[in-house]
Amino acid sequence: MGTLEGHLLPGAGFLLYSFYYSVLTSLALLQEQKALKHPLLPRKLRGHGLFRQVSYEALVKVVVPVFGIIGEYFYPLGVNRVQMIDWKDPRRPFVFKDNWQHVTMFGFFLLSGVVDMVSQTHLERWGVKLQRAAEALAFYVLILLMVTHIENKSSLEIRVHLLLMVPSFLLALVLTVEVWVPNHPPIWVLKSWLGLVLGNWMMQICEMYVPPTGQPWRADDPTDHAFLTIFFCWHLALAAALFITIYGLCSLWHCRYSSWTKTPGARYQRCPMEFNGEELEKLKADALSQNGVVLPETPDVQTGANDRDV
């Protein structure tokens, strides 16, 4: 993953997923939902087999790691890094350490997606807790791998990955809390914000490989180290601003959608206790103007009154 392409795939994946989760959170808050409702794939794509209820979230968790694993092994075209041990060397050394670390990270996120699919279909009772536990495990594994990933790196790369570990660790803690306290709106907001921070920082790492100024970052310059920390703090504020913007746009859509779904004049009217011919004719005219349906002939008013007296 020590390339622009290697950081771009997980960065774009985290960022898009964070946008998706922020939209779900905003709509859930606006509609006062007690639990997040993840949209399911169309029935034609789900089929009627093992996975009858698959959400877009679970599908993304499976598809993105699969592409990441394939890229770690076979990108660029023509290379093959599947080998773990060099059997030709008498010392039997491990090879492609970084790639196997990345494959392990992608593998645990892939496992989280598979757990989502299985739990959404077959474990409706306590499936949400299992999903959050698998997702928290993936982030804990990410942090463990980062500890050894920064070995033999430049001081600038170490600083970048240490700052990346901050939102990753906080996300793992939040997901762990959510295992015991599910469906809690403040946790939804915190997860959305931390996810946006993580995705934005991954894209910042991509910028370091192709700096817009044309001047590469200098690992031996303390000023570059200081500005790297400053940029991370800016990303904290940027993530909050992005979430507020998403919430505002969802609020506008929710207000407009609510106004569209309201039918003018479709309100219940209390039936008067005393009937007379004029009132019945007025009610019939209102019904015809609203529904366009011809009502049956109205029974005799006097007969209805007599029946009511009896």
Q: What is the pLDDT of residues 66-123, one digit of tens each?
A: 999 998 898 888 888 888 998 888 898 998 888 899 999 999 999 999 998 888 777 7
Sequence ranges of the domains in the chain: 4-257, 277-309
- Mean pLDDT lowest among 49-58, 169-178, 247-256, 286-295: 286-295
Query: Is 109 exposed, middle or buried (CB count within 10 Å of its CB: 0-12, 13-18, 19+)?
Result: buried
Is 264 a residue whose pLDDT tops 70? Answer: no
C-alpha 112/C-alpha 131 separation (Å) is 7
What's the token pair of residue 262?
């309201």
What's the token pair of residue 90?
């008498």
Question: Is-contact 95 83, C-beta < 8 A?
Answer: yes
- Mean pLDDT lowest among 34-43, 158-167, 234-243, 265-274: 265-274
Average the pLDDT over 142-157 and give the result. Answer: 87
Q: Please identify which residue in the block is written with the tokens 């979430």.
A: 243
Among 93, 92, 91, 69, which Cα is nearest to 82's? 69
Average the pLDDT over 56-68 and give the result. Answer: 89
Among 197, 284, 203, 272, which Cα is nearest to 241's? 197
Average the pLDDT over 36-48 and give the result. Answer: 67
Q: Who's near 295: CB < 8 A, 6+ residues apart?
A: 284, 287, 288
User: Degrees (nearest 5) of the Cα angle 75, 143, 192?
Assistant: 90
- The per-residue pLDDT for 215 is 80
pLDDT band of residue 154 (cuts 50, 70, 90) is: confident
Q: Who's near 127: CB < 8 A, 6+ residues apart?
A: 119, 120
Mapped onto helix, strand or coil, the DSSP state of residue 55 is strand
Cα dist from 235 to 93, 160, 196, 269, 301, whole Å:
40, 13, 9, 55, 74
- The per-residue pLDDT for 304 is 47
More confident of the two residues 213 and 107 = 107
Among 162, 168, 104, which Cα is nearest to 139's? 168
> What 8-state DSSP symbol labels residue 310?
-
Residue 262, number of CB atoms within 10 A of its CB = 10
**Percent of the chain clearing pLDDT 70 (strictly above):** 77
C-alpha 160/C-alpha 298 separation (Å) is 80
Average the pLDDT over 276-281 and give the result. Answer: 59
Question: Is-contact 200 239, C-beta < 8 A?
Answer: yes
What's the token pair of residue 277?
């011919």
Among 67, 64, 44, which Cα is nearest to 54's? 44
